[in-house]
């Protein structure tokens, strides 16, 4: 394992270089492609910095909700199965709150500039 630079530092450095040094030099369709690449690097940086924590919180909520242990993937399969069978629905205590928290965590990584996400953050949601 390398100590430095970290994967976060590397992806952020490449995105910053492209954004600050290359973007001003490119126009048209190539500029569009460059913006897409920068957005991808920014997304990867957010995934590297935020997903582990949000996954851990999601697992904790799912364990409490379902009463079983497992990985985030396994617990989500159990939840989907129970919803499919009608064993769990929005009247189930904690489910709506879990779904909301999970959605907000996903938006923090995928679309942190989404207007509705920002609005909900300002409400404390």
Whole-prediction pTM: 0.78
How many CB atoms within 10 Å of residue 123?
A: 7
Backbone angles phi, psi at 18, to 5 degrees: -65, -45
Burial 84-122 (b: 16+ CB within 10 A, else e): eeeebeeeeeebeebeeebeebebbbeeeeeeebeeeee
User: Given this model, what pLDDT does residue 51 score?
Assistant: 85
Given a contact cutoff of 8 angstroms between Cβ atoms, the answer to whether 54 and 105 are in contact is yes
Please state whether the peptide bond connecting residue 30 to the residue before it is cis, i.e. omega within 30 degrees of 0.
no
Rg of the chain on CA atoms, in Å: 19
Among 19, 11, 4, 21, CA closest to 42: 11
User: Given this model, what pLDDT does residue 1 score?
Assistant: 59
User: Given this model, what pLDDT does residue 2 score?
Assistant: 65
User: Given this model, what pLDDT does residue 63 score?
Assistant: 98
Mean pLDDT for each 10-residue chunk of the chain (125 residues)?
A: 85 97 97 97 94 93 97 98 97 96 94 91 82
CA dist 40 → 37, 103, 107, 124 (Å): 5, 20, 15, 28
Helix (H, G, I), strand (E, B) or coil at 26: coil
């Amino acid at each position: 394992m390398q100590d430095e630079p970290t994967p976060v530092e590397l992806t952020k450095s490449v995105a910053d270089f492209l954004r600050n040094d290359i973007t001003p030099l490119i126009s048209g369709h190539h500029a569009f492609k460059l913006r897409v690449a920068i957005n991808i690097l920014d997304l990867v940086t957010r995934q590297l910095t935020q997903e582990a924590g949000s996954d851990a919180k999601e697992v904790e909520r799912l364990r409490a909700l379902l009463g079983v242990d497992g990985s985030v993937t396994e617990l989500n399969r159990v939840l989907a199965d129970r919803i499919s069978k009608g064993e769990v629905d929005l009247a189930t205590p904690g489910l709506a709150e879990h779904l909301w928290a999970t959605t907000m965590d996903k938006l923090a990584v995928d679309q942190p500039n989404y207007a509705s996400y920002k609005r909900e953050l300002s409400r404390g949601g």
